[in-house]
Amino acid sequence: MKKYNCLIVEDEPLAAEILKDYLEQVAFLNLVAVCPDALFALNILQKEKIDLIFLDLHLPKLKGLDFIKTLQNPPRIIITTAYHQYAVQSYEFNVVDYLLKPIEFNRFLVAVNKLKPLNEIITTPTLIQENEKAYLFLNVGKKKVKVYLDEILHIESIKEYCQIYTENKVVKVKWQLTQIEDSVPKDRFIRIHRSFIVAKDKIEAFTATDVEIKQKQIPIGRSYKELVMHLIEK
CATH number at residue 226: 2.40.50.1020
Tell me the CATH number at 87. 3.40.50.2300
Non-local CB neighbours of 56 within 8 Å, separated by 6+ positions = 9, 10, 11, 12, 15, 64, 79, 80, 81
More confident residue, 175 or 47: 47
Residue 50: give the domain boundaries.
4-116
Question: Is residue 153 assigned to a domain?
Answer: yes
3-state helix, strand, coil in the chain (%, to 5): 30, 35, 35
pLDDT, mean of residues 5-31: 93
Residues 136 and 226 reside in one and the same domain: yes
CB-neighbour burial class of residue 144 (10 A; exposed 0-12, middle 13-18, buried 19+) = exposed
Q: 112 and 8, same structural domain? A: yes
Which of 116, 148, 170 is the last residue in one of the domains?
116
76 and 162 part of one domain? no
The mean pLDDT value for 161-180 works out to: 88
Count the domains in the chain: 2
One DSSP character per residue, 179-222 reads: HHHTTS-TTTEEEEETTEEEEGGG--EE-SSEEEETTEEEEPPG
134 C-beta neighbours (distance < 10 Å), count:
15
Nearest to 193 by CA among 213, 210, 176: 210
* Shared-domain flag, residues 108 and 154: no
53/175: higher pLDDT: 53
Chain-centroid distance of CA 124 in Å reads 12
For position 118, what pLDDT does the model report? 45
pLDDT confidence band for 17 (50 / 70 / 90): very high
3-state SS assignment for residue 136? strand
Longest dimension (CA), the chain: 58
Mean pLDDT for the chain overall: 88
Closest by CA to 12, choosing from 107, 102, 96, is: 102
Is 65 part of any domain? Answer: yes
| Average pLDDT score over residue span 17-27 | 90
**Contact partners, residue 1, CB within 8 Å, separation at least 6:** 27, 28, 120
For residues 42 and 133, membership in a common domain is answered with no
> Is 157 a domain residue?
yes
pLDDT at residue 32, rounded to an integer: 96
In this structure, the answer to whether residues 179 and 150 fall within a common structural domain is yes
Would you state the pLDDT for residue 227?
83
Are residues 132 and 86 located together in one domain of the fold?
Answer: no
Write down which residue in 65, 96, 116 finishes a domain: 116
Residue 123 lies in a domain: no
Tens digits of per-residue pLDDT, 48-104?
999 999 999 999 989 999 999 999 888 999 999 999 998 888 888 889 999 999 999
pLDDT in tens, 90-142: 888 889 999 999 999 989 999 998 887 644 555 667 677 766 688 888 878 77
- The domain boundary residue, chosen from 51, 84, 116: 116
Looking at the fold, whether 219 and 145 belong to one and the same domain comes out as yes
The answer, yes or no, to whether residue 196 has pLDDT greater than 90, is yes
pLDDT at 36 over 50: yes
The whole-number average pLDDT for the span 154-168 is 90
Strand 133-140 relative to strand 143-148, pairing: antiparallel
